[in-house]
Amino acid sequence: MRIGLRTWGSDGNIRPMSALADGLRARGHTVTIAVTSIDNKEYRPLAESLGVVLRPVGRFDPSGEKYEGLAAKLMELSPSSILKQFRLVMETLFEPVEEEMFHAAESLCAKSGLVIGHFLLHPLHAAAERSGSPM
């Protein structure tokens, strides 16, 4: 079966999905993993070592003013302000590539018999629902 995986984030989100891709491929499935790396890390060597196809989705310009001082801004917020931290992360790291993530999700759904994604990826949920793809 063709299985499409979709994730977003950094190593803590992308490596577990890569491990899932490896397990699925080992069981005979053809796996494509679409990745939006918020730190622009290159995951292609990892995907190639696992025998899965990787599709990078979105790039961030860490020198851009939106990203400057993001970590400091997050740290300035009190621990009780988790929703404010979440909003800042989503506005800075998710929304700029949201449309591109949706188009990548549509493509993944069209080419896969099953899609599996990171829980925050509403663009994948919308694309799967629109296409009737099992998720």
pLDDT digits (tens, 9 = 90+) for 8-25: 988 999 999 999 999 999
Kindly state whether residue 124 falls inside one of the protein's structural domains: yes
Neighbours of 20 (CB within 10 A): 17
Does pLDDT of 7 surpass 90? yes
Kindly state whether residue 29 falls inside one of the protein's structural domains: yes
pLDDT digits (tens, 9 = 90+) for 25-60: 999 999 999 999 988 889 999 999 999 999 999 887
| pLDDT, mean over the chain | 89
Range of the domain at 107: 2-61+97-131
- Split at pLDDT 50, 70, 90, the class of 63 is low
How high is the pLDDT of residue 4? 97
* Rounded Cα distance, 68 and 48, in Å: 32
Is residue 102 a contact partner of residue 123, using CB atoms and an 8 Å limit?
yes
Domain containing residue 122: CATH number: 3.40.50.80
How high is the pLDDT of residue 81? 84
Is residue 101 a contact partner of residue 36, using CB atoms and an 8 Å limit?
yes
Sign of CA dihedral 65, 71, 75, 80: positive
Is residue 15 a contact partner of residue 126, using CB atoms and an 8 Å limit?
no
